[in-house]
Amino acid sequence: MKTWFNVWPILIAPLFILVPVGFLPAIKLFNFNKGGEDIRILIADTFLDLLPYNQASLFADWYSQASTAKHMLLHVLMAFDINVLLLPILFLWCVIYLKINNIIYKQKLSASRSAIK
C-alpha cells in the first residue's frame, strides 16, 4: 500500500524544478544569450501581470535596479509562491493516486487470500 510518505516529494516537486532552472548559467546560442536569467524574467513578468498597476510599476523599477543576487532571491520566493499555488491541485492528484493505488492493492490482496483458501 502506498502512503503519504511515498508521495510527499510530488508536493514540493515544482519548487525543486523551478529553482535550479532559474539558476542556470547563461550560454550563447545562435548569438543569443540563453539561461536562467530568461526564466527569472519570464516568471517576474508573469507576476507583474497579477499585480495592480502601482505595485507593478514599483516592482518593475526595483527589479530593473536589483543585482543578480536579488534577482535569484526573488526567483526563489516566486518559485515558492508558485509551489504554494499548485499545492491544492497536487494534493488532489496525490489523494486520487493513493485511493486508486490502494484499491488495486486491496483487490490483489483479497484475490491472493481467496486463492490460498
Q: Where are the domains of the chain?
A: 8-86
C-alpha distances in angstroms, 14 versus 31, 70, 79, 83, 88? 31, 21, 8, 6, 13
Q: What is the pLDDT of residue 27?
A: 79
Residue 26 has pLDDT above 80, yes or no: no
d(CA 6, CA 49): 36
Q: What is the pLDDT of residue 96?
A: 95
pLDDT, tens digit, for every residue of 34-65?
777 888 888 888 888 888 888 888 888 888 88
Residue 34: enclosing H or E segment and its boundaries?
A: strand 32-34
Q: What is the pLDDT of residue 91?
A: 94
Spacing of C-alpha 27 from chain mean position: 24
Residue 11: enclosing H or E segment and its boundaries?
A: helix 4-22
Q: What is the pLDDT of residue 94?
A: 93
Residue 33 has pLDDT above 80, yes or no: no
pLDDT, tens digit, for every residue of 85-113?
899 999 999 999 999 999 999 998 888 88
User: What pTM does this model have?
Assistant: 0.74
d(CA 41, CA 37): 6
